[in-house]
Homo-oligomer: A and B are copies of this chain.
């Protein structure tokens, strides 16, 4: 619980350099200072502090903590202050107190250079216990390991840790800077869009909300996609929203049923316009303490990315790219290699792993996928082979790092645009059918528009992904703005019932401007910036990986009477039904 001093100072330095204006943490309250504020310049001043007892020793002194830091408090030992001494000596750790006293220099030799307030101490005159703390379920020091479940159950205690305070405050600051950039510099309008909407086609991951109309349900949308496009049709020109989104994926590690995206849409823009906007946005809001980032970000096509890294979200902080060693191996006499190369378009690819471990890797990389047998027609056979090598590349990096090498420095930030995705992919269950690689509103690449009507599998899209250190942190596209083209994609290519999207199709007929946009995954982005192991560390009240709130115990049972207005009833699974009525 002792504040990691360097981070702490960096943070406040960062915060002050952000704001050219005076930031006042003591307005509207009776404290004179926070617990992180006092310096030798304050010596002699009478101050009033409010905070939590971090530590107390033998009735002599205590350390008081608030969100900003720690201050050493000297407990008076004279008879006249016996009441104050008794009060402070008996208060349990983590009790909340007010102390009023005088700032003094610490005696020579007792200064603590590791503490921003380490030059001073406060000699108490009066004190008040505002709330006592009962025995804690765990010691809330950063270095003490607790189970995740216990931390989640007592989230309000975990929030007192330096790390979570830091993460949430930095998140708030970064978002504020993003807003300044969008709203104050570039004329974007912050528009709130509904979260009670209706099911979108293929929206199998959308939560339902029963309405009072029998059989009718709202749906919590996975993104404001339709609304932001309709805002462009409505002439809003530049929209953004820090949007709450919902996705019901059941249990998945490090996903949350509700999450936040920086949602952006612009009219009359092209792919490059959105990319420059986002680069400027990230540069403007980037915390100083995390170094600076260079723009423009490099760009790579989907095909290059798969060929070189075996994934569409490559971690470009390190090399070990995939190379074609077919020519080299043609001269070898290894039987199964020769066999692989004898297929039409047969190749052998590999990654070169530095510093040993070659044998494992070599075995793996010789695996190959001749075109005719496995690869679906739309992707070159080498892509699948590359995908396996891409996983091997990351696994190898894990092993090398476990052995002490630094391949992926978390303080280095490699942003990358991945572009020219295919517009459609074969449906996994039924490969003769096509589905949208991203969503049905994505516009085809201008060079491939005519292919849309002749060979849609070959059409590249105007979708772009933003990748940071091997993580997808954003994605967007130029949208279809022609009603005719949108109807063709929905009905002819995707064979979907366009009726549920009739309002959007109709809107495109009423003078919809060309438009495009992007959404950044805020939780993931912030977690990478603060180098947190999970997005749960940058969310105040996250759900468990099973979607439960372990503090408040949600979701929970409700009575049949509470369901009545919504005309629904629980259909108990057979097992539970039988357990109830044996």
Residues of A within 8 A of B (CB): 19, 21-25, 27-31, 50, 52, 65-67, 94-96, 98, 130-134, 136, 154-160, 164-165, 168-169, 172-173, 175-176, 179, 183-187, 189-199, 204, 207-220, 226-227, 230-231, 233-238, 244, 246, 248, 250, 257-258, 260, 266-269, 273-274, 276-277, 481-482, 503, 507-514, 539-541, 543, 547, 549, 551-558, 562-563, 566-573, 576
Contacts and interface: CB of A to CB of B under 8 A. Distances in A.
A76 to B, nearest CB: 23
B209 A208 contact: yes
B196 A175 contact: no
Given A196-B543, A549-B198, A189 B216 contact: no
Which of A94, A175, A189, A246 has most chain B Cβ within 10 Å? Answer: A189
A511 B67 contact: no
B236 A549 contact: no
B503 A185 contact: no
Contact of A514 (B131, B482, B558): B131
Contact of A556 (B96, B154, B217, B572): B217
A274 to B, nearest CB: 7
A244 B233 CA distance: 25
A105 B197 CA distance: 49
Given A24-B187, A95-B511, A214-B570, A482 B131 contact: yes
Contacts of A132: 511
A513 B235 contact: no
Contacts of A96: 511-514
26 contacts: A24-B187, A27-B186, A27-B277, A29-B268, A29-B269, A94-B511, A96-B512, A131-B481, A132-B511, A133-B509, A155-B234, A159-B231, A159-B236, A160-B234, A176-B179, A196-B246, A196-B543, A196-B555, A198-B555, A207-B210, A209-B555, A226-B552, A234-B540, A503-B553, A567-B572, A568-B569
A571 B569 contact: yes
Contacts of A557: 215-217
Contacts of A273: 28-29
Nearest to A249: B212
B208 A563 contact: yes
Given A258-B195, A268-B50, A511-B96, A552 B503 contact: yes
B213 A555 contact: yes
Contact of A547 (B164, B211, B215, B277): B211
A199 B562 contact: yes
Contacts of A155: 230, 234
